[in-house]
Amino acid sequence: MEQEVIRISNIKCKPNDGLDLIEKKIRKALNLGKEDIKYEILKRSIDSRHKPEIIYLYSVNVLSVKGKSLKDILKRTRDKNVTLSKKIIYQLDTSTKGREISEEERPVIIGFGPAGIFAALNLSRMGLRPIVYERGLEISKRQEKVNSFWSGEKLDLNCNVQFGEGGAGTFSDGKLNSSIHESTGRISYVLNTFVEHGANPEILYVNKPHIGTDVLAKVIVSIREEIKANGGEIHFASKLEAINLKVNPSGEKEIDSLEIKDLTTGKIFTKTARKVILAIGHSARDTFEMLDKLGIMMTAKPFAVGVRVEHKQELINRNAYGVALDNPNHKLPTADYKVTYKTHASGEERGVYSFCMCPGGYVVNASSEEGELAVNGMSYSSRAGENANSAIIVTVTPKDFGENVLDGMKFQRKLETAAYREGEGKIPVQTFGDFDKGVKSTSLGKVMPNTKGDYKLSNLREVLPEFITSSLSEGIHGFDKFIKGYDNEETLLLGVESRTSSPVKILRNDDYYSINIKGLIPCGEGAGYAGGITSAAVDGMKACEAIAKDFIN
């Protein structure tokens, strides 16, 4: 649905100005008096190009002015920042609500990360009573498992940083990348849903919105309760073991049933299913192997690997805000960054770039398999940690790791095994100065590791292949042109960052169904169709829409 609005861009405010000033500037731009107006903040970004002056730039949508036509108002202004625009509002078709649905017809969702959550939420809002199976545990029990692992206890292979309610994004910064193309209103729907369930309303308009892992956990629990209240079912500690297929009269392979293992009892039961959304996440390697053996069509896809890089947050803040940081009247957010570089050190051009940057955050042990170690970044909502960290990664393709479907996954495992060995089960840490020299770190400088899980001074050149390490070294030196001090010798590198995205793509048609298995919808990050919380949630919505078509028609 489209709604006509007046769009006002480039509204300038100082960091310490209250939001009431925005309304005054709206009235001035539109030549309005005291008429009642309804408006929403569309976007807020920070302009720090003219330090020490820091400016907040707002864009707003004016939705209505009591007693006046928006077009008439527009005729009275000559402000070049004022235009007539359209707001796209996503509308969920709930015409199926209240209809009878048999047990066989109920959609089944495998995985309860962002894709699975939003598929389940919308199916439940449509009255289609979805059933979710998630191999990990609910948030509260999952947090206990993860904290115990970080404290040195044994890794739970089915409930960890990668698996469990909320998916891998639960133990991250809760970043909501909204740069994917917004032409349907789905992104706004996702963000508004998070706000409805307890997220800070600022995520609706701030540039690079984030919820924070602590708040995101509460939001997910609230969404779960809505799904259940709408007739959905969510079963934790329930792992997909097999998909049973049959051949229909048309000669097509289609889903007949699923074999689900109750991880609490160890028993396997069969669930008849006709429509299955496969939202398994990028780390469900055993499931990828099962799908490959079953003949479900997949292909290897490019991804990226590298390290986490830690700096003092003060250095990142100072680079962003300069002396404005010392102004007590400036309430400035913890600064983030995004950097990219093209290298030639390995003999060919490679992209090196930052990913999943966590201001005031932690580097976490994100392992999910025995004898292997992977890291990720995480921030709480306050972003109050002493260090900033970001993945600094290098693109790899099947040319680097092999053309077979699971070769990318095997490449990840090889790196993670090397990281586990180098760190003796702990997160390998090395100063950038030592990394450049190719020697193991034996001491640290002013930057101390801010980690969840123990760390060990190591040599990351023993973990990563030379074409990756040479690219990382060149790229990190290159980033110093944009952030002074970035390549300081005391900068920390922690490894290995290998779970940036899925190493496979489970092929699907334009209708979102698998190209060779009727009734199966590969969805989200694990299937290779998303890259973060927001895009995975949007893909979950699309999966819901694909299933709903049959019920609506």
Is the Cβ–Cβ distance between 68 and 34 less than 8 Å? no
End-to-end CA distance of the chain: 20
Place of tokens 């995985």: 111
In sign, the C-alpha dihedral spanning 314, 317, 323, 324 is negative
Give pLDDT tens digits for 430-480: 999 999 999 999 999 999 999 999 999 999 999 999 999 999 999 999 999
DSSP 513: S
Fold match, 2-88 / 108-298+504-552: no
Phi then psi for 216, rounded to 5 degrees? -55, -40
Catalogue the long-range contacts made by 439-448 (C-beta closer than 8 Å, 24 or more residues apart).
444/490, 444/492, 445/489, 445/490, 446/312, 446/490, 447/310, 447/311, 447/312, 447/387, 447/490, 447/491, 447/492, 448/386, 448/387
Residues in the chain: 553
Strand segments (E) across 221-321: 233-235, 238-247, 253-262, 268-272, 276-278, 298-300, 303-312
Comparing C-alpha atoms, which of 2, 5, 3 is closest to residue 65?
5
Cα-based distances in Å from 300 to 105, 196, 401, 520, 527:
32, 38, 10, 19, 11
Q: From CA 542, how far away is CA 331, in angstroms rounded?
A: 39
Q: Tokens for 373?
A: 């170690």
The pLDDT of residue 111 is: 98
Is the Cβ–Cβ distance between 547 and 128 less than 8 Å? yes
Q: From CA 70, how far away is CA 58, in angstroms rounded?
A: 20
Is the Cβ–Cβ distance between 478 and 485 less than 8 Å? no
DSSP track, 103-121: TTTS-EEE--SHHHHHHHH
Alpha helix ranges (H) inside 452-515: 466-479
Can you name the CATH fold of 2-88?
Alpha-Beta Plaits (3.30.70)
Cis peptide before 52 (omega within 30 of 0): yes
Q: From CA 169, how far away is CA 158, in angstroms rounded?
A: 16
Please tell me the CATH code under which domain 108-298+504-552 is placed: 3.50.50.60
- Domain ranges for the chain, please list them: 2-88, 108-298+504-552, 303-497
Give pLDDT tens digits for 79-110: 999 999 999 999 999 999 988 899 999 999 99
Q: From CA 424, how far away is CA 432, in angstroms rounded?
A: 20
The pLDDT of residue 346 is: 62
Q: Report the interhelical angle of 114-125 vs 213-229 (nearest 10°).
A: 30
Is the Cβ–Cβ distance between 90 and 3 less than 8 Å? no
Q: From CA 315, how far away is CA 322, in angstroms rounded?
A: 10
In terms of phi and psi (left: phi > 0; alpha: psi -120 to 50; beta: otherwise), the region of 295 is: left
The pLDDT of residue 178 is: 60
Confidence (pTM): 0.96
Phi then psi for 529, rounded to 5 degrees? -120, 15
Q: What residues have CB less than 8 Å from 39, skipping those under 6 apart?
A: 23, 26, 60, 61, 62, 63
Average pLDDT, 10 consecutive residues per value, the chain (553 residues) = 94 89 94 93 92 92 94 90 94 92 95 98 98 98 97 97 94 69 87 96 90 93 98 98 95 96 98 97 97 97 98 97 87 93 81 95 98 96 95 96 97 98 98 98 98 98 96 96 97 97 97 97 97 94 95 80
Burial class of 66 by CB neighbour count within 10 A (0 to 12, 13 to 18, 19+) = exposed
The pLDDT of residue 78 is: 86
Q: From CA 101, how far away is CA 162, in angstroms rounded?
A: 33
Burial class of 498 by CB neighbour count within 10 A (0 to 12, 13 to 18, 19+) = buried
Is the Cβ–Cβ distance between 197 and 226 less than 8 Å? yes
Q: Helix or strand or coil: residue 213?
A: helix
Is the Cβ–Cβ distance between 7 and 88 less than 8 Å? no
The pLDDT of residue 203 is: 93
Paired strand residues for 427: 455
